[in-house]
Amino acid sequence: MKHITPKTFFIIVSVVLCQSVCPTFVDAATIREIVFTSTRDGNKEIYIMNADGRKQVNLTRHRADDFDPTWSPDRTQILFVSDRKAKVRDLYLMDADGTNVRRVFRQIAHREQPTWSPDGKRIAYVTPEENSIKIATVTGHAERRLTLTSWGSVNPDWSPDGSEITYDWKGSGNMRIINVNTKNSRVLLPELKKFVMWQPAWSPTGDRLAFAAFKWPENHAGPLRVDDKLSLYIADQDGTWVKHLVKEPIVNHPTWSTDGNEILYEKRFDDARRERQLFKISVESGKPQQLTRKGSNYQADWMPDIFPLPVEPTTSSLTTVWGEMKRE
């Protein structure tokens, strides 16, 4: 056996110790990138999966309905809607691994359709009984009404610079935008007069919007069922550039990937079950990829893009939290 020098021995020991003690850095976005609602377990649960659809994991595993999840900007928490208290839909927070579930507000009320401010300090949401969009701190304080809305889901989405919120105005089939501080509002993309547009979603850089829409047929008179004809479009903010990204019908709820290269959306299948499945599509190539198949899956959100996080495995996390989760 060759003689091991003190320097070589020190290097070997350092590598072994670091493997067991030092934090390892992994890009969590490449491991689990999408959070979504699924009915595969008989009720609404919140799942998480890789960006390619693999490793689908149930985070909530609760007898109540848990749905409409959205990531915190720092990726450490998930905001969602649940009726686990008095069967009232309200906002809840949990850690990214599904633990530490708690209500946002001390006084329970019907709140849903949440969206985070980019700095992670505030949330916006809808109060359906009041037809309002409201804003509060993430700790449930300083609740105030931002604006009145039309009926139904209005799908608010906070702009990347934090100054504005977009939302639906179903009464006239258009999308609106409101300044968070001044409360001044205007119609979004007014140049697209022949479109019925819903569910606006900001691109990560804030220069484009994705939305569900359809063109009103020429010379059409009488009622027209809108949601059976929705497909996916993207446009720049002034409406001078518009792209029909997904041309098949019954497609809605777009969400941009953090690099702006892909869009996640849900497709409803026109059958007796009215099942929905999640797809993603490249903004450039326009080739869709189906991500889910079991149950009905919808209301998805991409994990935000931040610097790689240090991961320090602990005995408790290895043997309890992740070990007990159901995997597809």
Range of the domain at 295: 25-321
3-state secondary structure of 266: strand
Q: What is the pLDDT of residue 32?
A: 59
Q: What is the pLDDT of residue 325?
A: 35
CA 278 to chain centre: 12
Helices within the chain (DSSP H only): 6-21, 315-316
Q: What is the pLDDT of residue 231?
A: 95
Q: What is the pLDDT of residue 5?
A: 54
Please check whether residue 150 is in contact with residue 169, taking contact to mean a CB–CB distance below 8 angstroms: yes
Is 261 inside any structural domain?
yes
Q: What is the pLDDT of residue 171?
A: 74
Is 15 inside any structural domain?
no
The DSSP result for 35-104, as a single string, is EEEE-TTSS-EEEEE-TTS-S-EES---SS-EEEEEE-TTSSEEEEEEEEETTEEEEEEEETTS-S-EES
Q: What is the pLDDT of residue 223?
A: 67
- In angstroms, the CA 326 to CA 322 distance is 9
Q: What is the pLDDT of residue 234?
A: 96
Is 327 inside any structural domain?
no
Strand (E) or helix (H) holding 236: strand 231-236
Q: Into how many domains does the chain fold?
A: 1
- In angstroms, the CA 147 to CA 134 distance is 7
- In angstroms, the CA 249 to CA 212 distance is 10
Q: What is the pLDDT of residue 314?
A: 35
- In angstroms, the CA 45 to CA 33 distance is 17
* CA count, 13 A, side-chain hemisphere, 281: 26
Q: What is the pLDDT of residue 100?
A: 98
Is 231 inside any structural domain?
yes
Positions in the chain short of pLDDT 50: 1-2, 7-30, 307-328
DSSP 258: T
Q: What is the pLDDT of residue 286?
A: 81
Q: Which residues contact 212 (CB under 8 A, 6 or more apart)?
A: 197, 198, 199, 230, 231, 232, 233, 251, 252, 253, 254
Q: What is the 3-state secondary structure (H, E, C) of 283-308?
A: CCCCCEEECCCCCCEEEEEECCCCCC
Q: What is the pLDDT of residue 228?
A: 76
Q: What is the pLDDT of residue 238?
A: 84
Q: What is the pLDDT of residue 194?
A: 84
Q: What is the pLDDT of residue 170?
A: 80
Is 18 inside any structural domain?
no
> Which CATH number characterizes residue 199's domain?
2.120.10.30
Is 273 inside any structural domain?
yes
